[in-house]
Chain A
Amino acid sequence: MKQLHLFATLAGTRVAIAAEEVEAVVRLIDISPVPGLGGHVAGLSALRSRVLTVIDVAALIYGAPTPADKRGLAIIAAIGGHSYALMVDEVSDICRAPGGALPLRGQLDPVWKPYARALVEHAELPWLLVSPSAFLESGIVGQAA
């Protein structure tokens, strides 16, 4: 497995996302709030003529919304015909992970369990391999419950 991965910090945790699942990384400028939904939906943002649904991943995982002044970068992903922006703290690199996906080790924080699929080694650090669609599925389920 020599595919490209995007390495980012998401809700204070190092994650890796397969590059093919990422369409772009943008800086969110203007987010129109969507009231009446859980805190994990930060709002809507326009990227040219596309409308992105902005997901506050930190709120989804830890239940604490990211303060407005810390909102910045987001990963754009098209899932099920809709465009989403996943808010990330920072993006560090896009490169190949020579080791590929490794099995999970250690006692993972339960809040990460639904999302982490594997480990990826990069820059001599472990990164959690996550998939953007996983955040959305659990987001909807969480809402329905």
Chain B
Amino acid sequence: MDELLQEFISETQESLEALAGEVVAWEADPSDRERLDAIFRFFHTVKGSCGFLHLPRFERLSHAAEDVLSDIRSGERCPDAATVNAVLSIMDRIAQLTHAVAVGTPLAQEDDEHLVAALAVQEVECVPLDVPGQPDAPATAHRQRSAQAAPRTIRLPLALIDQLMNGVSDMVLARNELARQLRDRAGDPALEGAFERLSNCVADMRDAISRTRMQRIDRLFAAIPRTVRDLGRELGKQIALTLEGGDVEMDREMVEMAVDPLIHIVRNSIDHGIETPERRRALGKPETGQLRLEARQSGNQIVIEISDDGAGIDTARLVEKAIAAGCLTPQAAARMSEAERIDLIFQPGLSTAHAVTAVSGRGVGMDVVRANIERIGGAIGLDNRPGRGLRITLRLPLTLTIIPGLVLRAGGLHFAIPRAAVVEILHDNNEMFRIGAVGGAKIVTIRNVRHSMIDLEDVLGLDIPAQSGPRTIMVVRSASGLPFALGVSAVENHEELVIRPASPIVTASGIYAGMTLPDNGKPMLLLDAAGLARNASLPEIAENPIEAKAEDKADAKNDVEMIAALRFEELSGERRLLQLSLIERVEELETHLFGQSGDHAFVRLSDRLVPVINGRHGFAREAVSALRLRDGVRDAYYAVAVVLDIVQMPIVPDMITMQGNLSGVSVVDGEHLEVVNPFALFASLPEEPLGHSRPGRCVLADAQDGWAREILAPLLRHAGHDVLIGLPDGEALDPRDIVLCTTSDAMQAADILGCRAVQLRAAQQPSGPQDASIYRYDQPALMAAIAGAG
């Protein structure tokens, strides 16, 4: 009996989850017979099961709902708003009761009577629905299809899956141990082969088991239609909801963690974003607001976009509020960029809502949403189009369980930290920053921005061990977005870490986000960046980032931004600089590969010609160093005598003299060096990649013709054309080839070959008006005819 009850509870809960969206869709389109049937089936099933399990309250509720739905099915009644509301409240009550049964609390002693009574109320006279069983509206069609294509599934207890997962993890550990042992012994190929096979099986199995943790994002979306409907009602707004990408899969735990932030964003969007129908009409928008949720997988991330066509964020108002709340000075506000203004939405305690409504604006704001998203390793982005809408993009990692992390050492122990939380890593002997201490507080100034600094050992109550080398300072960004510096002994490694949840007693400290078990079998804790800052009670006020940035800019003018450059010696002996980022690599090329075509030099690499920027002089040796440059699309070589070293040069040359391929002169280490202008380099290249623009060969059709061979061929060769005497045997002609012939049958042959042909005649005058041939000593006309074909 207990098992049956359990089964009933979990089935009912699942159906309820899935149905919440269906009821809303049915309300929107009452002629949708399939949805109505689905809902009817649900109540029917509940009624059947609970009669059997002796749950009279369930039975009464579901029976009443079933009756009404049955009337609607037969067309005796139409699904008006009141009916749908009543059906929804019955579903809610069933959900409450199910929950009560599941956790074993006494059933809420509320009166179900009024719910049942509400069902009986009928607002509108029934108009029989035309065409029942009509095909679905296109907007919702994809959901139907995916439901039909659902593969066969079975229900498994989570505990069993976790057990499998643990078993596989054990297997992986055992395999690693075995691998270590095998490495120590002399190699036996047969044994190693067998081990390799086993190893692959284990890896495959681990992948398969990890997939059991995946869940369709549909589940994340399940609660949305109901929220949208209820809120829309409450606020008198009309909203058309589109859900897309429900079949994208993500980690089960991740789905659970993402539900709250997502619901919050949707509520915000309806409450603050989408305007009332009257206002929308006044603004010239359609009365019904559009709300769109779209999920897709992109690499190892799930991207969820929530976009509406509402008012967007009023940044001016946001700034006003921030100033009123004292988090911003008007001077700083004036200097803020639009992006920085929008970012204010993530400041705690700010909201653009004019009044605190029941829906949102209760102080739980976007700061909490962002913190929650970042806690699970995600990121949130805003695309604000004032007056036209807002698009919020959530990027979530595919799974909670594997994250790229840094392994660091502090106080003689090892810890892990998510890589995403680390902005930069410096050694404390670096001259780029200085550490100051006052009244026990440590402040580190990096590029003129002061950060709070804490030593991890101090936070954790450990001793700082003496060490020979420099300590490492990590700039860590906490969820509140305020970076701080964290001093540790060293950062040791970068690994993909399999993260497991830590027990509550460990996470209660707020310092740790989880734990991981590396191959050495010693558990390691994952640090929570935000928690560390909180634990150390670091001040959370940004030191006016705007001013700091302005200072930064001013500084940039004083001490000049530097970029890396390659110092090299030209073939002609001058020493010059070239921006390093353009150089793909340095190659040694043999001199005989270099060639020229017209004005342009090129180098022949296995299958193609690559332009050479300065290759138009002879090379006195067998091989030449060449810099391979790339502007993102095209490659080119720059031949040099010798590559000297990599230096820092100012991004703008000290003296600007735009001339040829040079942009100016910079002084590096006391030496005046000419700076090569990359723009000019690429601009000087031939327009089309070499090879494609070369004229085709000139084919002399009559191999026996002495004139063609002795007089025409040399002329064409001198003009830079490749010449082929006689039509090639069995080799197709390139369409770019030009056939030159002296007789009209050769002309027809050329036509058949499908390339351009030029007919030459011996007589000075054409034989008639149809004659398109060229007099054989009319060099300009001949050359024009050949070039015209190129």
Q: Chain A interface (Cβ within 8 Å of chain B)? A: 30, 32-37, 41, 44-46, 48-51, 53, 55, 80-84, 136, 139-140, 143-144
Closest 10 A/B residue pairs (Cβ): A49-B169, A35-B460, A44-B523, A82-B503, A36-B460, A53-B503, A49-B170, A51-B523, A48-B170, A36-B511
How distant is the Cα of A50 from the Cα of B517 in the complex, in angstroms?
Answer: 8
How distant is the Cα of A83 from the Cα of B460 in the complex, in angstroms?
Answer: 23
CB pair B535–A36 under 8 Å, yes or no, is yes
Q: Chain B interface (Cβ within 8 Å of chain A)? A: 166, 169-170, 172-173, 411, 413, 459-462, 500-506, 508-509, 511-512, 515, 517, 521-525, 535
CB pair B166–A49 under 8 Å, yes or no, is yes
Interface secondary structure of B, over-half rule: mixed
CB pair A84–B509 under 8 Å, yes or no, is no
CB pair B411–A140 under 8 Å, yes or no, is no
Contacts of B502 in A (CB 8 A): 53, 82
Contacts of A83 in B (CB 8 A): 503
A36-B461, A37-B509 known; A82-B504 Cβ under 8 A: yes
CB pair B506–A53 under 8 Å, yes or no, is yes
- Contact pick for B515, options A41, A49, A51, CB 8 Å: A51
- Contact pick for A139, options B413, B505, B521, CB 8 Å: B505
A36-B511, A46-B521 given; name 13 further pairs at CB < 8 Å.
A35-B411, A36-B459, A36-B461, A37-B506, A41-B505, A44-B523, A44-B525, A48-B170, A49-B517, A82-B502, A82-B503, A136-B504, A136-B505
- Contacts across chains A and B counted by CB atoms under 8 Å: 75
Contacts of A53 in B (CB 8 A): 502-503, 505-506
CB pair A32–B504 under 8 Å, yes or no, is no
Contacts of B521 in A (CB 8 A): 30, 46
Min CB–CB distance B103 → chain A (angstroms): 15
Contacts of A34 in B (CB 8 A): 506, 512, 525
How distant is the Cα of A136 from the Cα of B503 in the complex, in angstroms?
Answer: 10
Min CB–CB distance A31 → chain B (angstroms): 9
Nearest B-chain residue to A37, judged by Cβ:
B509
CB pair A46–B522 under 8 Å, yes or no, is yes
- Contact pick for B173, options A44, A49, A143, CB 8 Å: A49
Min CB–CB distance B409 → chain A (angstroms): 13
CB pair B523–A55 under 8 Å, yes or no, is no
CB pair B503–A143 under 8 Å, yes or no, is no
A35-B411, A35-B461 known; A46-B504 Cβ under 8 A: no
A selection of 12 A-B contacts at a CB cut-off of 8 Å is: A33-B413, A34-B512, A35-B460, A36-B460, A36-B461, A37-B505, A44-B515, A46-B523, A48-B166, A49-B172, A82-B504, A140-B508
Contacts of A46 in B (CB 8 A): 517, 521-523
Min CB–CB distance A50 → chain B (angstroms): 6
Min CB–CB distance B529 → chain A (angstroms): 14
How distant is the Cα of A48 from the Cα of B167 in the complex, in angstroms?
Answer: 9
CB pair A143–B461 under 8 Å, yes or no, is no
A32-B413, A35-B461, A136-B505 known; A48-B500 Cβ under 8 A: no
How distant is the Cα of A41 from the Cα of B509 in the complex, in angstroms?
Answer: 11
A34-B512, A46-B523 known; A51-B517 Cβ under 8 A: yes
How distant is the Cα of A51 from the Cα of B173 in the complex, in angstroms?
Answer: 13
How distant is the Cα of A83 from the Cα of B162 in the complex, in angstroms?
Answer: 13
Q: Which of B169, B459, B523 has the most CB of A within 10 A?
A: B523
Contacts of B511 in A (CB 8 A): 36
- Contact pick for B524, options A32, A37, A55, CB 8 Å: A32
Contacts of A82 in B (CB 8 A): 501-504
How distant is the Cα of A9 from the Cα of B366 in the complex, in angstroms?
Answer: 51
CB pair B508–A143 under 8 Å, yes or no, is yes
CB pair B505–A51 under 8 Å, yes or no, is no
How distant is the Cα of A143 from the Cα of B523 in the complex, in angstroms?
Answer: 22
CB pair B166–A50 under 8 Å, yes or no, is yes
Nearest A-chain residue to B510, judged by Cβ:
A36
Nearest B-chain residue to A80, judged by Cβ:
B504
Min CB–CB distance B400 → chain A (angstroms): 14
Min CB–CB distance B339 → chain A (angstroms): 37
Min CB–CB distance B502 → chain A (angstroms): 7
Contacts of B506 in A (CB 8 A): 34, 37, 41, 44, 53
A30-B522, A36-B535 known; A84-B508 Cβ under 8 A: no
Contacts of B501 in A (CB 8 A): 81-82
Min CB–CB distance B52 → chain A (angstroms): 31
Contacts of B411 in A (CB 8 A): 35
How distant is the Cα of A55 from the Cα of B503 in the complex, in angstroms?
Answer: 11
CB pair B509–A36 under 8 Å, yes or no, is yes
Nearest A-chain residue to B521, judged by Cβ:
A46
Q: Which of A45, A51, A83 has the most CB of B within 10 A?
A: A51
Contacts of A55 in B (CB 8 A): 505
How distant is the Cα of A49 from the Cα of B459 in the complex, in angstroms?
Answer: 29
- Contact pick for B508, options A35, A51, A144, CB 8 Å: A144
